[in-house]
């Protein structure tokens, strides 16, 4: 996984964005997932089978060690992987935060090229780190510097 991503993320072990039937357009490239293309394809197949068979939406998959959580927005599947012992509501909030960050930053690019050029999203983990550092340092500054 990107060292920058892991240093600023509290609950997620990995973060992926999937488009059009399993195509991974962004991943934090962790040690957990050895083949993100295969992983994305399998997740989409499992979700599709679940949806067709049970007429329900799969929101998460949980094992002994990891939980995979899904958020669907604007025809993209945002996937967060967290440890099973992690507070699920906090992991989901973190996933939703990154989802909103991505959609805010890349909305125009996605509209102009249908979101298929994955090279355009390579810098997202750096953007996450920078944004979170600004938030954290801004909060620290407010706590440490007295205001009149």
pLDDT tens for residues 1-52? 344 454 446 788 888 888 877 788 888 766 777 788 888 888 889 999 999 9
% of residues, the chain, pLDDT over 90: 26
pLDDT in tens, 78-112: 999 999 999 999 899 989 988 888 888 877 777 66
pLDDT in tens, 108-128: 777 666 655 666 767 676 776
Nearest Cα to 13, choosing from 106, 89, 97, 91?
Answer: 91
CA 80, CA 43: separation in Å to the nearest integer? Answer: 12
- Walk me through the domains of the chain, giving residue ranges and CATH numbers: 3-144 (3.30.450.30)
Exposure string (b/e) for 33-52, b if CB count within 10 Å is 16 or more? Answer: beebeebbbebbeebeeeee
Exposure string (b/e) for 70-101, b if CB count within 10 Å is 16 or more? Answer: bbeeeebbbbbbbeeebeeeebbebbebbbee
> 107-112 — which CB contacts under 8 Å span 24+ positions?
110/74
Q: Do the beta carbons of residue 82 and residue 9 sit within 8 Å? A: no
Query: Across-strand partners of 24?
Result: 18
- Give the H/E segment covering residue 131: helix 124-144
What pTM, to 2 d.p., does this model score? 0.76
Within 10 Å of residue 20's Cβ, how many Cβ atoms? 13
């Amino acid at each position: 996984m990107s060292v920058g991503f892991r240093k600023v993320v509290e609950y997620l072990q990995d973060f992926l964005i999937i488009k059009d039937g399993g195509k991974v357009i962004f991943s934090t490239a962790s040690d957990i997932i050895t083949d993100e293309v295969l992983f994305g394809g399998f997740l989409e197949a499992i979700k599709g089978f679940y949806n067709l068979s049970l007429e329900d939406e799969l929101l998460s998959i949980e094992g002994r060690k990891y939980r995979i959580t899904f958020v669907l927005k604007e025809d993209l599947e945002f996937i967060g992987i967290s440890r099973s012992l992690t507070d699920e509501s906090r992991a989901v909030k973190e996933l939703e935060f990154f989802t909103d960050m991505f959609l805010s930053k890349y909305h125009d690019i996605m509209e102009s090229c249908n979101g298929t050029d994955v090279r355009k999203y390579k810098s997202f983990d750096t953007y996450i780190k920078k944004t979170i550092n600004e938030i954290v340092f801004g909060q620290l500054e407010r706590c440490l510097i007295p205001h009149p």
